[in-house]
Amino acid sequence: MNGLYTIILLILSNVFMTLAWYGHLKIQQTGLSRDWPLIGVIVFSWSIAFLEYCCQVPANRIGYDGNGGPFSLVQLKVIQECVSLVVFAIIANILFQGQNLHWNHILAFLLIICAVYLVFMK
C-alpha cells in the first residue's frame, strides 16, 4: 500500500507543481494578472507550490525504502520525473490548447518509461 500512496501523492504533488510553474501564464493570458507585479506572481505561485510540498515530502517519506517503503531513492526520483512529464502533458493540453504533442515528444516519453523499467531491474 505504501507504493500506491506514494504514487498518488506524487501525482497530486505534480499537479500542484505544474499549476504553480505554468498556471500563472494561463491567468496572464486571461488578463486577470496582467498588471500584477512580478513579486505578486511569485507569491501566487509559491502559495500553490506549498501544496506541492505538502504532497511531495510525505510521498518520498512513505515511499523510501529507508523508511520501510518499497522504493530506493533513485527509483523515487525516476518515478517522480515520469509522473511529472505525464501530468505536465495533460495539464498543458487542457490549459494551453495550442500546445500539441509531436512524435518526438511521444518518443521522449517512451524513453522515460524505458528508464523507469531499467531502474526497477534487478
Note down the domain range covering 44: 2-120
> Could you read off the pLDDT of 17-69 as tens digits, one per residue?
999 988 888 888 888 888 899 999 999 999 999 999 999 999 999 999 999 99
The pLDDT score that the predictor gives to residue 91 is: 87
CA atoms of 82 and 32, how far apart (whole Å)? 32
> Could you read off the pLDDT of 55-75 as tens digits, one per residue?
999 999 999 999 999 999 989
> Could you read off the pLDDT of 89-121 as tens digits, one per residue?
888 888 887 777 788 988 988 888 888 888 888
The pLDDT score that the predictor gives to residue 24 is: 87
Q: Which residues are CB-contacts of 30 (< 8 A; sequence separation ≥ 6)?
A: none
Alpha carbon 82 to chain centroid distance? 8
The pLDDT score that the predictor gives to residue 82 is: 86
CA neighbor of 23 nearest in space, from 108, 79, 87, 86: 87
Using CA atoms, how far residue 73 sits from 22, 62, 117, in Å, is 27, 12, 15
Q: Give the number of domains in the chain.
A: 1
pTM equals: 0.82
